[in-house]
Amino acid sequence: MNFFTRKRSASSAKERLQLVLIHDRTDLTLEEMEALKDDLLKTIARHIEIDPEAIQIGLEKDGREQRLVADIPLRGAARRRAG
Partner 1 sequence: MTAQVITVTSGKGGVGKTTAVANLANALAMDGKRVVCIDGDIGLRNLDVVMGLENRIVYDLVDVIEGRCKLKQAMIRDKRYPELYLIPAAQTRDKNAVSPSDMVRICNDLRADSDFVIIDSPAGIERGFRNSIAAADRVLVVTNPEVSAVRDADRVVGILEAEEKGSPALILNRLNPALVRNNDMLSAEDVLDLLGIQLIGIVPEDETVIIGSNRGAPVAADGKSRAGQAFRNIAKRLQGQDVPFMDLEPQSGLWSAIQKITGRK
- By the criterion CB under 8 A, which residues form the site for partner 1? 8-11, 13-14, 16-18, 20-21, 24-25, 61, 63-64
Comparison of 44 and 59: residue with beta carbon closer to partner 1: 59
**In contact, 48 and 74? CB cutoff 8 Å:** yes
Q: Which is nearer to partner 1, 64 or 80 (CB)?
A: 64
Of 32, 22, 35, nearest to 61 by C-alpha is 22
Q: Distance between CA atoms of 26 and 60, rounded to whole angstroms?
A: 11
CB of 32 to partner 1, least distance (A): 18
